């Protein structure tokens, strides 16, 4: 009899946010057919939340291999490690993916301010995950690169959480090339697209209008495109950002390389505000996350939607399967 695939592992996220609630709601939605997952720690808060939501009490398990048997009846929860619940959950989850006990990682939202108050030394989740996996071998270029994905659109970001003025100043041909290379290899490895098509967004209105509205397209983006095309990459651009996200335009590429945060997130959230998934490309482990924050303002009210977390779990399973097939 074939062995079941290793389950996924979820982090608890901020215990004071909506992470526990949406983890339970995702389990309730996925329990009939999976994907199977376990949560790293947080049994007490998850048990309390389950009572509030009138859901079955979570099941305490010792390792991910027990998740398959528990999942049809209860949300499987792994033992809690000492330390900050949010950080300990991340560390435990990563260790289980590294060992092969879990197939991939899905991270619930954390409060950066709360982590910083506890002495957290990394800008956020993604940088911490890169640190925890830095010694692992992987093919191709190493990230991390942020992708936002909804049905019909994938965007990746060259710059992320920077003031717009700083993001523009920090743009370089090298950063664009690095982001596009990682995106190209991820589309092949993680999304099973044999010949990826990329589209590079321009920075200025009308993609600079031949330099009359800015020279970044000429001085930065054109050299990047030349380099990438010389490597055999199918990449169009620079495209005017206001005309590259309508339905017909999206059919011409598999991922859009965007230059700053809002350029990539506005079209994704416009298409599917509740179902977006954050995927970290260029890591040796599979990592996805819901595309929203801790939402502490609605925590404990029972009204949080689990759509994005469910989509993140489903995409993590698909990426893990694609990586296995690629090997």
Binding site for substrate, by residue number, is: 125-126, 269, 278, 287
- Counting Cα atoms < 13 Å in the Cβ hemisphere of 248 gives 1
Contacts of 122 (CB under 8 A, 6+ apart): 128, 131
> Residue 74, SS3?
coil
Helix-helix angle 222-230:173-189, to 10 degrees: 40
What DSSP element (H or E) covers 262? helix 261-271
240: closest CA among 253, 266, 258?
258
39: closest CA among 98, 99, 86?
86
Answer whether 157's CB lies under 8 Å from 264's CB. yes
State the Cα–Cα distance between residues 59 and 115, nearest whole angstrom: 28
State the Cα–Cα distance between residues 147 and 162, nearest whole angstrom: 16
Contacts of 270 (CB under 8 A, 6+ apart): none
The residues that bridge with 147 in the sheet, in sequence order, are 156, 279
Structure tokens at 94: 């990563």
State the Cα–Cα distance between residues 201 and 242, nearest whole angstrom: 9
- Counting Cα atoms < 13 Å in the Cβ hemisphere of 105 gives 33
Binding-site residues, in ranges, read 125-126, 161, 206, 261, 269, 278, 287
Residue with tokens 């942020």: 146
Binding-site residues for a divalent metal cation, in ranges, read 161, 206, 261
Residue with tokens 């994704």: 268
Structure tokens at 178: 């690095």
């Amino acid at each position: 009899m074939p062995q079941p695939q290793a389950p996924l592992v979820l982090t608890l996220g901020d215990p004071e946010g909506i992470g526990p609630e949406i983890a339970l709601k995702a389990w309730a939605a996925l329990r009939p057919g999976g994907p199977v997952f376990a949560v790293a720690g947080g049994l007490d808060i998850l048990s309390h939340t389950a009572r509030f939501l009138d859901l079955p009490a979570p099941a305490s398990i010792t390792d991910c291999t027990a998740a398959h048997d528990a999942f049809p009846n209860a949300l499987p929860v792994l033992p809690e490690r000492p330390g900050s619940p949010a950080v300990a959950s991340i560390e435990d989850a990563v260790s289980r993916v590294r060992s092969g006990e879990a197939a991939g990682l899905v991270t619930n939202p954390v409060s950066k301010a709360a982590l910083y108050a506890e002495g957290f030394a990394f800008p956020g989740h993604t940088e911490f995950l890169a640190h925890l996996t830095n010694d692992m071998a992987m093919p191709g270029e190493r990230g991390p690169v942020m992708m936002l994905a909804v049905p019909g659109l994938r965007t990746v970001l060259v710059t992320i959480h920077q003031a717009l003025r700083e993001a523009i100043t920090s743009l370089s041909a090298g950063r664009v090339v690095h982001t596009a290379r990682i995106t190209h290899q991820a589309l092949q490895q993680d999304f099973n697209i044999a010949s990826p098509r990329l589209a590079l967004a321009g920075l200025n209105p009308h993609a600079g209008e031949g330099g009359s509205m800015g020279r970044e397209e000429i001085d930065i983006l054109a050299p990047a495109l030349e380099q990438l095309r010389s490597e055999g990459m199918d990449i169009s651009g620079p495209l005017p950002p206001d005309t590259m996200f309508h339905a017909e335009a999206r059919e011409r590429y598999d991922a859009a390389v965007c230059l700053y945060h809002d350029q990539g997130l506005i079209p994704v959230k416009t298409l599917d505000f509740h179902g977006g998934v954050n995927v970290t490309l260029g890591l040796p482990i599979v990592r996805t996350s819901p595309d929203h924050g801790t939402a502490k303002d609605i925590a404990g009210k029972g009204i949080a939607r689990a759509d994005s977390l469910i989509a993140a779990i489903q995409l993590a399973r698909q990426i893990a399967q694609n990586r296995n097939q690629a090997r």
